[in-house]
Structure formats: structure tokens, C-alpha cells
Chains A and B, each alone.
Chain A
């Protein structure tokens, strides 16, 4: 009891002594305001020190790859591993994607199938990925609706050697849409319009010009873009069409393309391409049918502010067909002008003309107006009005294109 009391007294005395000392010191300086300012300054400098140290700690942590607890709210720990290889996908699986192309048609153009219907025109399934450094494979299959039924078709399947012992040369082998002109290599869901321009349909068939073989592509070492492609092909029997105005190729084919591009300014680019296909027409098994098609393609892009883009594109087709007793020379083209004014909206007009690759003087021309709303880069809703100028008939297309999963196409 007394020990506790003694301890308490000593503690009280000590506190008193300290207070007295403090009071005495204060009385001596007699300057409360100055003291306060001094303390304030000290706190300020301490705060600055703490802040700068925190910053340093944070930057050190970041440098060592750790977590920087800087942001309030949605901060979650970063995943382990490095994102320096694109995409956080499993290396075991290739990129798998599906593309759907839903088309509704109305109007009085009797050349169109599925009129007054809304149908799933094409569903595409793609497997894409690397096999080895600089070597990749692309396999694209499609269910395509034709005359009311679905046909499964291997659209493209090829292996690409992006580099070869020869610098700037790459090689593709397999089945592919042939690299002639601008539009033929593109899949329909990539186009700025719903339907295949009439001249492409007539000269290359309803599914475009495909072949089995190999393509050699050389990027010429010049200060501007110049790529030369040469291919040797055999056409797939399955893609033959014999109807009406549609011809297409058969048997072996040779293709070549010179593709160049000039950056006129930071926002303007002009692309020019000259390509040719040499081979046989679809009737070669029945009679002489030598077929050559030359294509000149011109694309001009002007990028405005934000998302604005002007696209002018034309392809001119020169066809020469040697049949018994006659050599036909034919011409066709399409021209497209499109303007995108914001992230979502895009409008365009297209003019088509072609001369039939068959004897006789049949020719047709079309005018189209197209309006596109894009939800994302791969999902779009499109409306197209097309008028056959010669037949006075109209067609209206409604298209919904959608893409699921990572889907890539080579530079087009």
C-alpha cells in the first residue's frame, strides 16, 4: 500500500517537474506565435518528407514488380506473370472464334435467293495460332446457306512461314482465298457492304476465288511499301459454278500481285495494286476455255479527327477469255466511297458494273447505299439498298454481323 502510494507520488512529481520546466521555458521565450509557426513549418516539412518517402517506396515497389497501393477503389493485385506477349490466353489452345452473318432480304430482285427471309447466311469457325516462332496456322471453316440448305465448307486452311531463310520473304501453303485485288482476300463479314460486288461474283464465283497451293510473298526492301505476291494453285472442284452470268476458274492457276502504298501525309494513304490470274475457265473440261483476269485496285484513306475516316476504293477487272472460235474481252468494276463520322456510324455508296464473261453482250450495273452501325469492331448492324439500274429492280438487305472470340486476318 505504502509502496504504491510512494510510486504514485514520485510519478506525479516527475510530471509536475516536466510541466514546470516547460512553463518556465515558454515564459522565457515568451513567443507563442513564433513557436506555433515553427511547429507548423516542422509539420509541413515532415509531411513533405513522408510524402516523398512514400513516393519513393511506391516507385521502388513498382520497380521491383510489386504492388503500388496508390489507387482507391478497384485496386486488385496484378496477376502473376508478364503480359508482354499479347493476350492472357492459354498457350495450349489456339485462338478460337466464331463469326455469324445474318442477312435479311426483301425487294423484287429475283436473282437473290431467300428473298423476304431473314436467314443465318454464314457461320464461320476459326482456329488460329502459332506453331513455332514465326510459323502460324489458320483454319477457317464455314456453314454456308445455299438454296435453302447449309453446306459445310473449308474456307481457308493454311500454314504461314512468316520468315524464311531469305529475308523479307514469307510463304503460305494450303487452301486460301487468293491474293488478287483487294476484296477477294477479305471475308464477307469484313466488307463495308452486305453483298459481293457483281463483278467479283461474276468473274470469281459466289464464294470468291480460292485455290489449293502455295503463295510466296516478298516485301521489297524499299523505303515505301511494296509487296510482291506470286502463287501457284489448283482450284477446288467444289467451288465451280456454272450458272447464268457466273464463271469462275478451274484447274491450275497462277496469280501475282504488286501491292504498293504511299503515306501521303500523316492522315492520308494511297494504296495501289496490280494483280493477275492466269488459268482456265469453269468450262475447261468441256471445251477450250483459257481465262486471264487482270485487276487494278486503288484505295485511298483519309483519317479525320477522332474516329472520322474517308475510304475510297475501286477495283477494275479486265477479263480475257479464249473459247472455241472466239476471244472475249470483258470489263467490270466497283467503286465504293464510305465515310465514318464517329465510333459507331458509317455510311457509303457503291457503284457496280460488269460485262458478262459469256458470249453475247449482257451487262449489268447496280447502285447501292449502305448504312452501318457498329457495336464493336466485330459486331455490326447494316442496312443496304441496291438498285439494278438495267432491270429496274430493287433489293434491300439487313445484315447483322457478329464475332465471338479472338479473330484475326492477315493484313488486307
Chain B
């Protein structure tokens, strides 16, 4: 019995230590790695950020694990992409018993609320049209100007949660904006020469990115959103390359690479794979370096393609 009491005391002690350790910084949990990176840029040393989905996995489909429950229970702030992308987090929030981070709570942040949404369905959608989101295309984080929106939202919410650090968050936000502004110039000049170029992508993850940099979509390898490419659809793409004027095929890291390879081999159009979330590739260490990597590989591939043509 004595032995058990001692073990119990140790457990309580351990818990108290971990509780005081947590008190030092705001605990932030985000669904995706992109949100984690942006919130980290704003929260700096005042926050400890963890994300639930790794950047090399599909954020649409996530198996909720018990360890996620503990993270959300201990969170002061829970940040989601919203627009039904991370709808899987709902059962997680119910299991976590932390009303502060549920919709409507002070520590709940859906960063999509002030985004200018693209591809919002005008008609009623159902699964016969593939995996469509009623609120529009949810891949808005791939537009760097939307990252600024996310950062502003994060700064606002963090300031509410920790008013004494508001100035710190505000200055981090200004710094983040400055970095983005500088980088935007660089990215624009890299992609500028390819204005109007048409790209085929695996999934419809790219409208925000493409429209920001003046590129155009020439369709997807998926016949419908979320439906894996069929041989007939790929043949159709191969056949219609001249009329679609496809210059490049873009695939996200977690999708099957063979479809892009097939079209590329049949047509000679280059195919590249890029991260669409932080951590998706080795270069995509944080938000800015991810966009950097995407822009550079797209620009490089288009340049090569132009030289070849």
C-alpha cells in the first residue's frame, strides 16, 4: 500500500509540473501544419503550437486518435481550416471536454470566416458531383495573401486570450506581413513571365494559388473532386492537351503519382510534385518556405518546358 501511495504522489507531482509548464505559454492546437506554422509566426515564444495532421497526409481524411483528444483538451486555442475540410475534428471536440475550444468558445478559431471564398457552389451539391464543399473550395491557405488573413485572425484571437501580449503579437504580425510582402515581390517576378500559363492539377487544391499568380487551371486528373483518376479520363486529358494548352502537371505529395507520370510520358508535358502543406516535402519547413518551394519548382518547370518547346 505504501508503495502505491508513493507512486500516486509521483503521478500527482508530475501532473503539477506539467500543469505549471503549460501555464507559461498558450497551448495552441491546429488541424493542419500550415495553420501551425502561421500561428507560430504570430505567437512566437508566447505559444506552443501543435498540429494534428502531418503535411504529407490528406487533410480531408483523418483518423481521430486518442492522443489528439488529450491535446485538444489541454488547448487554449484550437484552430481549424474550416469550410468542412477538417470536419473530422468534430468528434474530437466532443471527446475532449473542453468547451472553450468548441464553436462559439473563446479559444475556437475558424480561419476561413474572412476569406474571399472561391468556387462556392451556386446549386445544391451532392456526392454525385464528387467530394464538394458547400462553403467553397477550402484550400485557401495556398494564396499568400490569405495567409495574411489567417495571421491577422490568429493575432486577434491570441490577443484576446492573452491581452498582456497583444503588442508582441501585433509586432509579430507586422513582421510576418513584411516578410510576405517582400516574398510576394520575389514570387511575382519568378512567375510573372508565365502569366496565363495553363496547368493541370491532380486535385482542385490550387485555384487560390493559381489565381494569385495569374496562372490558369486546365482541369484536374481527378474526373471529379475526390474520385481517383480513371484510365478513360487520363486518356481524355492526353488527347485534349493541345486544346487545353496544358503546360505543366502539378500533383500534391500525398496523391498517387502514377497518373501524372502517365500523362507526362504520353505527352511530354513536365509533371512535378509539390507540397501543399508545411512538412509535405523537406523544403517546406514553414509556410513561407513552402510557398517558396512551390513557386520555384513551378517556375523552373515552366521555364524548362518553354525552352524545350
Query: Which residues in A have some Cβ–Cβ distance to B below 8 Å?
Result: 55, 58-59, 61-63, 65-68, 70-79, 82-88, 133-134, 136, 160, 162-163, 167-170, 219, 221-225, 227, 259-263, 266-267, 269, 271, 301, 303, 305-307, 309, 342-344, 376-377, 408-411
Q: Are B65 and A301 in contact (CB under 8 A)?
A: yes
The secondary structure that dominates the A interface is loop
Q: Are B116 and A306 in contact (CB under 8 A)?
A: no
List B contacts of A88 (CB < 8 A): 84, 134-135
- The answer for the CA separation of A377 and B61 in the assembled complex, in Å, is 8
Q: Are A225 and B57 in contact (CB under 8 A)?
A: no
List A contacts of B92 (CB < 8 A): 411
List B contacts of A136 (CB < 8 A): 94
A-B contact pairs, 17 of them (CB 8 A): A55-B145, A62-B114, A62-B149, A68-B116, A71-B210, A73-B217, A74-B119, A84-B108, A133-B99, A163-B97, A221-B15, A223-B15, A263-B65, A305-B254, A307-B254, A343-B256, A344-B228
With known contacts A62-B116, A225-B66, A219–B110 Cβ distance under 8 A: no
- The answer for the CA separation of A219 and B98 in the assembled complex, in Å, is 11
Near A by CB (< 8 A), chain B positions 156-213 give 207-208, 210-212
Which of the four size classes fits the interface of chain B? Answer: 35 or more
With known contacts A62-B114, A76-B122, A263-B67, A411–B91 Cβ distance under 8 A: yes
List B contacts of A67 (CB < 8 A): 116
Q: Are A83 and B121 in contact (CB under 8 A)?
A: no
B77 CB, min distance to chain A CBs, angstroms: 14
List B contacts of A271 (CB < 8 A): 66
- The answer for the CA separation of A82 and B153 in the assembled complex, in Å, is 15
Q: Which residue of B lies closest to A68 (CB)?
A: B116
Q: Which residue of A lies closest to B94 (CB)?
A: A162
List A contacts of B113 (CB < 8 A): 82-84
Q: Are B216 and A84 in contact (CB under 8 A)?
A: no
The secondary structure that dominates the B interface is loop
With known contacts A73-B217, A78-B117, A78-B120, A84–B103 Cβ distance under 8 A: yes
- The answer for the CA separation of A87 and B115 in the assembled complex, in Å, is 17
List B contacts of A303 (CB < 8 A): 54, 57
Extra inter-chain contacts (20) besides given A74-B119, A168-B73, A343-B58, CB under 8 Å: A58-B116, A63-B114, A70-B118, A71-B118, A73-B217, A86-B84, A134-B99, A169-B97, A219-B97, A221-B15, A222-B15, A223-B70, A261-B65, A261-B66, A263-B67, A271-B66, A305-B57, A305-B254, A343-B61, A411-B91
With known contacts A343-B228, A376-B127, A75–B91 Cβ distance under 8 A: no
- The answer for the CA separation of A339 and B93 in the assembled complex, in Å, is 28
List B contacts of A224 (CB < 8 A): 67, 70
Q: Which residue of B lies closest to A273 (CB)?
A: B66
List A contacts of B7 (CB < 8 A): none
Q: Are B207 and A74 in contact (CB under 8 A)?
A: yes
A374 CB, min distance to chain B CBs, angstroms: 10
Please pick, from B18, B64, B121, B134, the residue contacting A223 in the complex, using a CB distance under 8 A: B18
- The answer for the CA separation of A82 and B82 in the assembled complex, in Å, is 10
- The answer for the CA separation of A219 and B74 in the assembled complex, in Å, is 11
A289 CB, min distance to chain B CBs, angstroms: 35
Is B299's beta carbon under 8 Å from chain A? no
The winner among B61, B70, B92, B217 for most chain A CB atoms within 10 A is B70
List B contacts of A75 (CB < 8 A): 118-119
- The answer for the CA separation of A170 and B94 in the assembled complex, in Å, is 10
